[in-house]
Structure 1
Amino acid sequence: MTNYRILAITSGYNFRDIGGYQTKDGKTVKWRKVIRSGDLSTLSDQDLGYLKKYNITCDVDLRSNAEQTKAPDRVPDDAKQISNPVFNTGHDKSDEDYARQYSSDPNSGRNNMLSSYKYMILSRDARKAFTKLFELLLKNDQDQNVLIYHCAQGKDRTGVATFLFLYALGVDIDTIKQDYLISKKQMKPYIQKQIDFYSKFGMNDILRHNLENLYTVSLDYIDMAINTMTENYGSIDNFIHQGLGISLEQIKRLREIYLTD
C-alpha cells in the first residue's frame, strides 16, 4: 500500500503521517505507526472509515479540557480516547473578546505564539503531558496499531510534541523543522476560515495580521521552544531526560518500536 504524508481527510485539518524520515544513523521512521493532526471533532463518517482502515487504535487529545468539551473528538468505534492537555488555560474567552484582543496591537499574535512555545517548555503541566505522550507511544508497540495525537489545529502543541518525538528517534533538527513547516501550507484554508468568521466582529488589518500569525507556524516559534530547552536544561537531550524524565532505556525502546532498517 502506498504511503502518503498528507492523509486524505476531507473534514479536518493537518492530518499527517510522520513516517519515512531518516535518522542520523541511517534508519527510517516507520510509516503507519503515528499520525499527527488537528482535532477530530468535525470528521465525516467517510473520514472515520478512512481512519478505521488506517487502524487508528489510540487517540491522544492534547487540547485543554474546555476545548475537548466544546468540540469532542470523533474516533473509530474501537479506538481508545485519552485526554492529555498540554495546558488548560487561555481558551475561555468569547469569540468577540478574542477579536477585540487582537485588533489593536499588530505584534500581539506573534508575541502570544512565542509565549506559548516558551510556556510549553517551562510549564510543569505541559512537561507532564509530553511525558505521558512518550509513555503512550511506548505502549503502541504492536505493529498493526496506529496512534494519533493532536491539538486544535495540529501545529503548535502537536508541533512541539512531534519535535520531541522525532528528535528522540534520532532525526536531525533540520528535517524535523521541515516537517513542522508543512503546517504552514496546511493551515492556509483554516486561516481564511478564521478571517471570514471574525469579520462579523469588524475586521481590520491588525486583526487580519494577528490571525495569520496565530494560525500559522514559524521557525521563530519552534526556535523559541528549542532555545528555552537549551537555556534552562543545557541541551534538548537534557530536557528530554531531566525535564520529561525519559530514560535512555525508554529512548532505546522507542527506536525499536518506531524505526526500521
Structure 2
Amino acid sequence: MLEKLGLACVVDLRDDSEIAAGPADRLVGEPRVVRLPVYDAAHPVFTAVAEVLLGHDLGAEATLAVQGSPAAMAAIYRWFVTGEGARASFGAAVRLAADAENLPLLFHCTAGKDRTGWLSVVLLTALGVDEAAIRADYLRTNAQTESLREVVLQAMQARQPVLAEAAIRPLLEVRGEYLDAAYDEVRRVHGSFDGYLRDGLGLTGAHLAALRDNLLD
C-alpha cells in the first residue's frame, strides 16, 4: 500500500529513547524523513506513561496510580495543546503538509494513537471537517487495534504480573475524555480552535489555504 502511495515525506513524532527501543522504520522508496519529537522528559506523567509502554520501567505504574491512568492521559493531551515543544512540532508538521513537495506525507509516533491522533485532529479541523466526524474517526482506533492491544497487555503482565489491568488498559486505548481534555484546553487558552491554530501553532492564513488546496478535492 505504501509503495503505491509513493511517499515523499515521513514525519516521526518519536523521541530518541523511543526510536532506540523500537524497531527501525521500514520505508518504501526514499522519502524525506523529518524528526519532530513530541516528548518532554521533564513532564512526569508523560515520562511515566512512556516508561511503562516501552517496558523500560514497569514500576512507573506507581506514579500513574497517584492520579489514575485516565487522568494521566488527559494531562498528556492538555500538554499537547500547551507544551512548547508539542506546539512547535505539531505546527511544523502542519506546515510540512501545506507544502505540496512533501505529499504524500505519512506521520506516526510509537503507538499511533495519541500524538498521531492529535495531529490528525489538528489537520482535519484545519481542513474544515466536522468535529463529530473527527471524534468518530479518533475513537475508531480502538476497534482497529483491539487484537494488538490485548497482545501488548498480556505481554506487559507476563513481564510483571503485579501490573493491574485497570491501570494499564487506559494507556493502550483512546477515549473521548482524552480528546475532550485537549479540546477544553484549546478553548481555555486560545478561545477557539482557530485561535489555537494561529497563536498556538503559529499557522498563518497562507499555511491553512495551502493545506486546503493540497489536501481537498
Which residue matches 1:69? 20
Structure 1 unmatched ranges of 5 or more: 1-49
Structure 2 unmatched ranges of 5 or more: 42-46
Distance in 2 between residues matched to 1:203 and 1:104, nearest whole Å: 17
| Equivalent residue pairs, number | 208
Provide Cα deviations, 1:148-196, integer angstroms capped at 9, x if missing partner. Answer: 0011121100111111110011111111111101111122122212222
2:174 is paired with a residue whose SS is coil
Which residue matches 1:60? 11
- Aligned residues with identical type, % of pairs: 25
Which residue matches 2:147? 189
Contact 2:10–2:34 (CA under 8 A) maintained in structure 1: yes
- Cα 1:103/1:227, change in 2 over 3 Å: closer
Distance in 2 between residues matched to 1:103 and 1:138, nearest whole Å: 39
Cα offset, 1:92, TM superposition: 5.1
Which residue matches 2:87? 127
Higher helix share: 2
1:149 is paired with a residue whose SS is strand
Q: Which amino acid aligns with 2:81?
A: I
Which residue matches 1:79? 31
- Whether 1:210 and 2:210 are equivalent positions in the alignment is no
TM-score under structure 1 length normalisation = 0.73
Provide Cα deviations, 1:217-241, integer angstroms capped at 9, x if missing partner. Answer: 0110011001001001111110100
1:86 is paired with a residue whose SS is coil
Cα offset, 1:102, TM superposition: 5.2
Which residue matches 1:256? 213
Which residue matches 2:2? 51
Contact 2:5–2:104 (CA under 8 A) maintained in structure 1: yes
Cα offset, 1:198, TM superposition: 1.5
Q: Which amino acid aligns with 1:151?
A: C
Q: Mean Cα displacement is larger for which, 191-200 or 251-260?
A: 191-200
Contact 1:140–1:147 (CA under 8 A) maintained in structure 2: no
Q: Which amino acid aligns with 1:210?
A: A
Q: CA RMSD in A?
A: 2.2
Higher strand share: 1
Distance in 2 between residues matched to 1:96 and 1:136, nearest whole Å: 32
Provide Cα deviations, 1:4-41, integer angstroms capped at 9, x if missing partner. Answer: xxxxxxxxxxxxxxxxxxxxxxxxxxxxxxxxxxxxxx
Cα offset, 1:69, TM superposition: 2.4
Which residue matches 2:132? 174
